Structure formats: C-alpha cells, structure tokens
C-alpha cells in the first residue's frame, strides 16, 4: 500500500496556516486506500439505485397489469351473464375458457408479490456491505498510521499481521448480516 503521507516524511513540516484542506486530508489518511474504498462504495450505491429503479418500474407494471386483469375478469363475467339467456353454447364455452385464463393470470400475479420483494433484500444487503467496506477502510487507515511499512523496517510477517488485525477489527465492528435468505422462497411463519 503506497502512502502519500510518507512522501512528506523528512521534509519540513508545513506551517498550520499553509495547510489546505487537501493537504490536511492527505496527512490524515492514506489517499490511495480512501479512493479505492470510495469507488467501491460508489459502485455499490449505483447497484442500489439500479435495483431500486427496476423494482419501482416492476411494481408500477405489476399494479397496472393487476388492474387490467381485474377489469378483464369483470368484463368476462358481464358478457357471460348476457350470453347465458341467449343459450349461445359456443360463446359460453369461450367465456369459460377466458375465465380460466383470467384466474391463472391472477394466480401468477399473486406469486409475483413474493418475487417482487427482492428489492428490499438487496437494498439491506448492499447497506450491510457498504458498512463493511467503511469499517475495513477505517481499520486499514488506523493500521497504516501506526505502521513502519514505508521505511522498509516491517517484515512481511508484520505486514500480514497488520492487515489481519485490521480485518479482525472491521469484523468486530460489523453488525450481524440482516439478510440470510439465499433465494426468493417464502419465509418461515411463527405465531407466539
């Protein structure tokens, strides 16, 4: 891991008045690591926005299809009522077939209600992952500030231990994963 902070090592300490926000930022953290983790967070936010957008559109489509299906169902019933007194067997048979199709569409829509909940699960998982990335960044920055890596005095073993300790600390900070579902099958129900 390169460190911008180390580039200033040995040079004259800048006067506090001369410190711009940027140089202060560079002194306080490892900019490469910071940028790397920022990019990951931006990617995850992009995924979240795309998923949310897709879910919103799917829900709008779902509600529209559901409304149309209900209208269609009601129309078939109304036509059937008109056809029965006429005793038009072919029309009644056709309407019965229409009714079967309408019922099947309604059943499929009901199943879609379960699948359409994927957006909530994905959003929660992404938020959890963003938090993990933030934690790892914080812990790596902490180790980086303490390490002697840049002057070459640290052994490979020490570097490994430093990284392991950062990962362990990040794990300790992490909250329990909020979503353990591996698929979109219906969840358990328990009444107390």
For binding to another protein (CB under 8 A), which residues are involved?
Answer: 55-56, 59, 62-63, 66, 110, 113-121, 123-124, 176, 178-181, 184-192
Minimum CB separation of residue 41 from another protein in Å reads 18
Quick one: 81 or 104, whose CB is closer to another protein? 104
Quick one: 28 or 50, whose CB is closer to another protein? 50
Quick one: 61 or 164, whose CB is closer to another protein? 61
**What's the number of CA atoms in the CB half-sphere (13 Å) around residue 101?**
9
Minimum CB separation of residue 133 from another protein in Å reads 19
Residue with tokens 């009444």: 191
Q: Is the dihedral of CA 174, 175, 178, 181 positive or negative?
A: positive
Report the C-alpha gap between 134 and 10 in whole angstroms. Answer: 31
Instruction: Give the 3-state secondary structure of 61-73.
Output: HHHHHHHHHHHHH
**Cα dist. 119→52, 172, 180, 191 in Å?**
6, 27, 14, 26
Quick one: 16 or 186, whose CB is closer to another protein? 186
Minimum CB separation of residue 109 from another protein in Å reads 9
DSSP state of 180: -
Minimum CB separation of residue 108 from another protein in Å reads 12
């Amino acid at each position: 891991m390169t460190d911008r902070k180390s580039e200033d090592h040995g040079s004259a300490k800048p006067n506090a008045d001369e410190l711009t926000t940027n140089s202060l930022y560079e002194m306080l953290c490892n900019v490469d690591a910071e940028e790397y983790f920022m990019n990951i967070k931006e990617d995850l936010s992009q995924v979240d926005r795309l998923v949310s957008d897709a879910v919103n559109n799917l829900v709008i489509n779902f509600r529209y299809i559901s409304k149309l299906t209900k209208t269609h169902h009601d129309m078939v019933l109304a036509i059937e009522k008109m056809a029965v007194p006429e005793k038009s067997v072919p029309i009644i048979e056709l309407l019965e077939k229409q009714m079967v199709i309408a019922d099947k569409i309604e059943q499929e829509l009901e199943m879609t209600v379960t699948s359409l909940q994927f957006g909530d699960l994905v959003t929660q998982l992404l938020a959890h992952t963003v938090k993990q990335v933030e934690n790892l960044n914080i812990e790596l920055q902490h180790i980086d500030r303490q390490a002697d890596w840049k002057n070459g005095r640290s052994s490979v073993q020490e570097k490994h231990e430093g990284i392991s300790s950062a990962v362990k600390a990040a794990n300790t900070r992490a909250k329990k994963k909020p979503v353990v579902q591996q698929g979109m099958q219906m969840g358990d129900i328990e009444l107390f």
